[in-house]
Structure 1
């Protein structure tokens, strides 16, 4: 097996974490799958230390469970954790967009519109993974506009489990066309400097996950638990 190439100028543990996080979120490594430090170290042609550090970060994000002397496993998707994460994310992002209304200007609106155009291009070219990343970029830009990068850093730390449901929902339950319409609603409310409208638009957008998780679980019962 040929080792997967890493960027030599970036921290190895962080790269391994990001790649494994992506693979788990996209269910390329399904819930319940055992993870071996040895196999991952061979995959990337590295020592076990950066792999172990990546595993610890994945465990902190709720994606895997490390069992001493018994190995590590990809966690099943916790319905409770998804709902709690959605609750916290909604509280933060509604505050972000309300603040963004007071700080928005034409240059920042232009940046948002560019992100939306990139999302539309990804949809037109059926580039689901690109759309998924651009969705995050849109929300991260909103935090930047609100002059609160800490808001996005906090969301990043809690949304790994949510992301698995988000990714699974893109195919049928929450298609990108619907999501970009919701993004445009947020954009137009910011354009109008309408605090109530942008708050309502963000609430509708983020409530999507809460409504779709049960539909996703019906088709993937073995991947979920109630805890």
Structure 2
């Protein structure tokens, strides 16, 4: 775990503040299950690991708690929260609403050829992850695809809202790759979205994006069955049955 965290730290930009780097590393570590649900986090251990003071670590914990990824318990410690089904469903609803609106806007305004080329290049890079089974790389490229689409339509604020609310959703998305939601299926959906936008077909753009954003609804029940210990609601039910 420590080696993974240090590797993630080295990949972050040194042009941002220590607090921002810590927040990004810890956020990604929680999303990618390097820091598991229920795990205790120590300010001192993390500060020592990255050779920083405890203040920026404390500030990063606060931001993570605001995103619903950790729980700070006074006098008891800080813990990675288990995945909340309700939080995932609410985040998915918000994300679908905004991303469908973004796809509609993109199809209506006719994106420049350079942007369409960039989106298609991202899809090709996603396809290259299939053979290598590079799930981490695909997850990064998937983020880039949706961010590029939002920014290119002038919807930076909408993307910021999406990023703020999707932390819990991202953990389920990461778990769903590759088994519950295979990379080829997601890549084909991305291609269908871009094709609809390029054709200026607003109906198809809305439909393809909506289908894409609802994919998690199919994988969530399977993931709860496979990883009950990671989910807050499922874990509580199992605990109640064993008492």
Q: Which of these residues, 23, 46, 61, is aligned with residue 55 of structure 1?
A: 61
* TM-score, scaled relative to structure 1: 0.95
| Match of residue 182 from structure 1 | 189
1:8 to partner: Cα distance: 4.4
1:1-227 correspondence runs (5 A): 4=6, 8-103=14-109, 104-226=111-233
Aligned residues: 227
Query: Can you give the 5+ residue segments of structure 2 that lack an aligned partner in the other structure?
Result: 235-243
Shift of 1:88: 0.5
Q: Distance in 1 between matches of 2:14 and 2:88?
A: 35
How much has 1:34 moved relative to structure 2? Answer: 0.5
Q: Give me the whole-angstrom Cα distance separating, in 1, the residues matched to 2:151 and 2:108.
A: 13
Q: Determine the C-alpha separation between the residues in 2 that align with 1:54 and 1:200.
A: 38
Give the structure, 1 or 2, with the largest relative contact order (CA under 8 Å, sep 6 or more): 1
Distance 2:125 2:14 in 1: 29
CA RMSD of aligned residues (A): 1.7
1:79-110 deviation digits (Å, cap 9, x = unpaired) = 00000000010000000110111221322211
Q: Deviations along 1:46-84, whole A, 9 cap, x unmatched?
A: 110010111111111110000111100000000000000
Q: Equivalents in 2 of 1:197, 1:71: separation in Å? A: 49
Q: Which runs of 5+ in 1 are unaligned?
A: none
Alignment CA distance shift 1:198-1:8 (3 Å)? closer
Q: Deviations over 1:25-60 (max 9, x none)?
A: 111111000111011111101110010111111111
Q: Hey, what's the Cα distance between the residues in 2 that align with 1:46 and 1:225?
A: 32
Question: Which region of structure 1 is more displaced relative to structure 2, 14-23 or 99-108?
Answer: 99-108
User: TM-score, normalising length from structure 2?
Assistant: 0.89
